[in-house]
Structure 1
């Protein structure tokens, strides 16, 4: 019966395949050859199939044996992973990290960070939330996320009093329109009066009040910023985007940058911060993420694509 299958039997099966014989496997697992042979015979009886063809001098795996061997390797691998994870948690390692990231974060830098995290902490689980403008810090404040990667926490200082924040870089923002948009043909700086007759596409969020920093009367608010990117490309309006998300479009001439006098240079760069609650203990995995964010997020190449934007005057 399957309920009587043991890990010891599975390890012996794998050892036979890896060493090439029952004799070598017995030496490898430090058991008598008769014990190995008995374990395999018992395993065959338990699962009801022959694992080895014994018609020749040297037994070889049957087709069923090959299939069971693959399952045995999978089971043993998962057991080893469980043991490693349990040892890590006993030593203070987190079993899982919940990470809330603003959509303003450069995606390629984030992926590099998580790839290194996977290699550094292979047994630590991860829950990743990529949130609308304002959503990531709220998850950290509510305790639903251990760490956040957000923009401009200083703009909402009272909300960030219970949290530590670590500067990890910044994202450049650029106003853009499609190449055949009426604003694209203007070669001088654009004043607010120049924008009034042209629809502005702006972000919106369930986590924040309605968008206030409007330069025109005709405004469409779009929560999904990837969709808003496509709407700008389709000529439905103009808007601001992180430069890394539209770099390929600017280079190809599909979009053109707009020089808007009403937007000072300092408003067109969003500082990025790692945040976590002061009263939350940082285990080794969470601390590593905080320490490594600047290396991967702060140095992200400008061509990395993520169709996102922070809301001016709010916290991304």
Structure 2
């Protein structure tokens, strides 16, 4: 009553909001003042206004009211059997605007379920899911398949071969494998030591990275060439920091299959299932 009387501007407006008689609100405020021994409202004006002490009490009362609303939301989430938290592991090459949008919608649908985002190389994601350190993984397909996991193919992402704009590779109309072996290759590899099966190692001179964002920076410094997800390379290509080259095996775009992975023994609650279903449209 204190908060709503203050924010609505009068006891009568508060009464209308609560669906009570004005006398009930007036009596409730009076009883509160008696209980705490503090005059909250100055009643000498046409409309009751907060006293200086009342202003201090109001600030705390408003916080308590907000926490009460939060408590009600948590109780509702528990009653709906919504999970308290979910962990999502993904390769940073798969953190697209669409994934951000899905997470935004999840936040609105399940405001009391905490999300933990784990950005790791895709070759390390399966191990996190197997060890129950993540409930859902989003990864490029990395055979062999693991018995404990369930896989859901959601599409493929295009890759391209890139180099620095001043690289000698661009002097060739079409680059052969024999020419590529003379230039350092930048290659993604996780902590596990595994790389991406669908992307070949060509050069004997290889620098390894555990993230495509790092690979982009190294190519921009003219430290080697690499296969990169097209959407990550496009901005740097447009800005003139990277260039694509024609590779003799590139008759068609390199397409990397993408999977959602979960543990077969996981309990699939309502928040999990909602998120999993939306992630199927990620790619």
Bin for the TM-score computed over the shorter chain: 0.7 to 0.9
Per-residue deviation at 1:77? 2.4
Pick from 168, 189, 192: which aligns with 1:182?
168
CA shift, 1:286, in A, is 0.7
TM-score, structure 1 normalization: 0.78
Match of 2:231 in 1: 244
Match of 2:208 in 1: 221
Whether contact under 8 Å (2:183, 2:203) holds in the other structure is yes
Q: Deviations over 1:165-223 (max 9, x none)?
A: 222222111110111111122112x2221012211111222133478942112211122
CA distance in 2, matches of 1:100, 1:53: 57
Q: 1:20 to 1:44 in 2, by over 3 A?
A: farther
* 1:253 aligned residue (219, 235, 240): 240
In structure 1, how many angstroms separate the alpha carbons of the residues matched to 2:186 and 2:194? 16
- Matches for 1:158-177 after TM superposition, within 5 Å: 159=146, 161-177=147-163
State the Cα distance separating 1:123 from its structure 2 match: 2.1
Contact kept? 1:104, 1:151, Cα under 8 Å: no
Q: CA deviation at 1:51?
A: 4.8
Instruction: Say if 1:75 and 1:35 are closer, same or farther in 2 by CA, change over 3 A.
Output: closer
Name stretches of at least 5 consecutive residues in structure 1 with no aligned partner: 1-11, 299-316
Unpaired runs of 5+ in structure 2? Answer: none
SS class of match (2:208): strand
> Secondary structure, in 3 states, of the residue corresponding to 2:207?
strand
- Measure the CA separation in 2 of the matches of 1:67 and 1:281: 47
2:118 is paired with a residue whose SS is: strand
- 1:258 shift after superposition: 2.2
Any idea what the Cα deviations from partners look like across 1:73-132, whole Å, max 9, x if unmatched? 333223222222222222322121111112231421110110111122222221111112
1:166–1:67 distance in 2 versus 1, CA, 3 Å: farther
1:197 matched residue in structure 2: 182
Q: Which residue of 1 aligns with 2:266?
A: 280
Give the aligned partner of residue 80 of structure 2.
91
The residue aligned with 2:27 is 34
Cα separation, 1, equivalents of 2:53 and 2:231: 53
Aligned partners of 2:43 and 2:158: how far apart in 1?
A: 70
CA distance in 2, matches of 1:234, 1:67: 58
Give the direction of change, closer, same or farther, for the CA distance of 1:104–1:290 in structure 2 (3 Å limit): same
**Is the 1:16–1:22 contact (alpha carbons within 8 Å) kept by the matching residues of 2?**
yes
Report if aligned partners of 2:83, 2:271 keep a CA contact under 8 Å in 1: yes
Match of 2:183, SS? coil
User: Alignment length, in residue pairs?
Assistant: 277
